Chain A
Amino acid sequence: MTTQALAQVLASGLLMGLIYALIAVGLSLIFGLMDVVNFAHGEFLMIAMYATFGLVLATQLDPVVLMPLVAALLFALGGASYLGVVRFAMRAKANQGMVQIFATFGLAILLQGVAQYLFTPDYRNVQNTWLGGRTLEVGGVFLPWPQIFGAVVSLAAFGGLHLLMSRTDFGRALEATREDQGAVALVGIDRNRVFALGWGLGAALVGLAGAVLAVFYYIHPQVGASFALIAYVTVALGGFGSVAGALVAGVIVGLVEAFTAVILPPALKSVGVYALYLAVVFVRPQGLFGRL
């Protein structure tokens, strides 16, 4: 492998990895907050992609401009999912874990159905975008602009998340709820509000990722599933609940996938990521940065 080819693989892997991190971080945040795995996470991403597609059609504006709106829509979807579904799943007295899994699975299927009802099962893509189809060449390495943009958005989102968690009252409430759910009631924080906002925030983050992906990826009702699995692997690799872990694990996943695609047939590019996941959890069941 030439240096140039190596640089190409590294750069593509890194860019995609940052996008994977952005897809995964919302899932990790929600888990850290309340020990719930959202099995509709991929569908949140799918809905964000369709929202971008629909808004572009309706407003004829560029997806980049519409991104905040998509994030806001997903914020609402996330909050509503908590208040309408997950809140009740957490009240179950029997089979808590199973109830959470299947309640969010039901939500996932419902969202797929809604997307299919509104947009048909056809593959869609966002056309005539400012970013679409352009590449940046640096020393023989080709970098597509949509991915560069996605990586920048991801880094900005992680930076913003860090500030939010450390500097604002909401962030502190979030942190307090993560540390000790019982103590929260004592300090007078409304748990339900924090959880709903947490779900909104987690969904808004995956909303950003969806807006980014919509620019360079086909959109269809099942698109969430493949990314969801990558997101679960990323989150488990980084450790459920760890924001920094999601960032590092996302980049690792992107790089491993890029290198696997070089070694194995492209159709098997995910095998490397999956194998890495298994290797890590078998040796370190709590993930790289997780607490048991």
Chain B
Amino acid sequence: MTSTTLPAPAAVPATASAARAFAAKRRRTLLVGLVVFAGMAALPYLVRDVYLQNVLILTVMYAALSQSWNILGGYCGQISLGHALYFGLGAYFTSVLFVTYGVVPWGGMLAGGLASAGVALLLGWPCFRLAGHYFSIATIVIAEIGLLLVHNWDFVGGAMGIQWPFNPDSWWTLQFARDKVPYFHFALGLFVAVWFVTYLIEDSRWGYWWRAVKDDAQAAESLGVEVFRSKMAAAAVSAFFTAIGGGFYAAYVSYIDPESVMSFRFSLLFALPAVLGGIGTLWGALVGAAILIPLTEISRSYLGGTGSGLDLILYGLLVMLVALARPEGVLSLFKRTRTARNQEAAP
């Protein structure tokens, strides 16, 4: 093998400054992250209302789950509508290991996360050969099969589900009956973890490969991108964190059954915040969840209490409007104005 013919030229000053500017931008992003997360950690002390605290916990949890979905759906462009499967796997691993075998939820979550990553790789093998709608529908179908199987599997409680025993409040068993604030901090910790992993991946080979696969897989291949391996890696990381979210949800609600953790509406709920906020971005899932979850939770309480359907009407209109008016997500609003401003400032 001869050496390649275009040696990287000595960095010209312009490229060196561009590289420095990029490094500074990365540091700024990290700093913004730190400030935002510190602010968020203080939130439950400012909001003492138990109902609103519940809304906060769900918001941060869905932000974490949506960011996990975003890794496969937003960055790598594989629109999975079956992530409820991984959520359910995490919830069931954690619950069965804790209730039946006495393994603390931390262990169950890790086991569930690894198992889900394994399942994602196993399913990715055939699924990632499917394109577009065929892929999305296959993910729905597989999740539905999972739901039906769990429904009819007595070892994991079948249709009856699994009730967690009542224990004193403890971080060890992740059970907090009196004060819900620790749940918020766990959910926030999960979001920060997924966010940070995404942040690291964004400026790594996988990050660039995933986005190339999303935009044009064939062009990507001609540039040395391993398309199939990219999808598999994204699926495994995405499934891992989704399952940890499932384990957390099981601990938080203390009772799970197949419909309450594996139904299709979860798959949709994981995708929507990222789509709403902006897919394939660091902050899209959080912004989307911060709009969507409080709105749906509060409108359900005030409008849907009697099953009137008004909450669904509002929710449906919102999803439609966002998809149509802002295909790049809410975050693009800010981006657009910033570019406009820069252009005005330019001579």
Residue contact A109 to B312, C-beta cutoff 8 Å = yes
Q: In the assembled complex, which residues on chain A have CB atoms less than 8 Å from the CB atom of B148?
A: 267-268, 270-271
A116 to B322, CA, bound (A): 23
Let me know if A170 is at the binding interface, CB within 8 A: no
The main secondary structure of chain B at its interface with chain A is helix
Q: In the assembled complex, which residues on chain B have CB atoms less than 8 Å from the CB atom of A274?
A: 141-142, 144-145
* B interface residues, tally (CB under 8 Å): 47
0/1 string, B127-150, CB within 8 A of A gives 1: 001111110111011101100110
Residues 79-132 of A at the B interface (beta carbon under 8 Å): 85, 88-89, 92-99, 101-103, 105-118, 120-121
A135 to B141, CA, bound (A): 33
Residue contact B328 to A281, C-beta cutoff 8 Å = no
0/1 string, A156-193, CB within 8 A of B gives 1: 00000000000000000000000000000000000000
Let me know if A278 is at the binding interface, CB within 8 A: yes
Let me know if A25 is at the binding interface, CB within 8 A: no
| A89-B323, A275-B145 known; A95+B279 contact, CB < 8 A | yes
User: What residue of chain B has the Cβ atom nearest to residue A93's Cβ?
Assistant: B327
Which of the candidate stretches A11-19, A60-68, A198-206, A229-237 sits at the interface with the other chain? A229-237
A102 to B275, CA, bound (A): 8
| A102-B323, A110-B312, A229-B140 known; A116+B134 contact, CB < 8 A | no
Residue contact A117 to B313, C-beta cutoff 8 Å = yes
A195 to B144, CA, bound (A): 32
Residue contact A113 to B311, C-beta cutoff 8 Å = yes
Q: Which residue from A92, A121, A225 sits with its C-beta under 8 Å from B307?
A: A121
Q: In the assembled complex, which residues on chain B have CB atoms less than 8 Å from the CB atom of A277?
A: 137-138, 141
Residue contact B137 to A101, C-beta cutoff 8 Å = no
Residue contact A112 to B323, C-beta cutoff 8 Å = no
Smallest distance from the beta carbon of A201 to chain B beta carbons, Å? 20
3 smallest beta-carbon distances between A and B, as pairs: A116-B309, A113-B312, A110-B316
Given A113-B313, A281-B130, 20 extra CB contacts under 8 A: A37-B133, A37-B136, A94-B327, A94-B328, A95-B328, A98-B279, A99-B324, A99-B327, A101-B79, A101-B81, A102-B275, A103-B320, A106-B321, A113-B310, A114-B309, A116-B307, A116-B312, A271-B145, A271-B149, A274-B145
Chain A residues with a Cβ under 8 A of chain B: 31, 37, 85, 88-89, 92-99, 101-103, 105-118, 120-121, 221, 225, 229, 232-233, 236, 240, 265, 267-268, 270-271, 274-275, 277-278, 281-282, 285-287
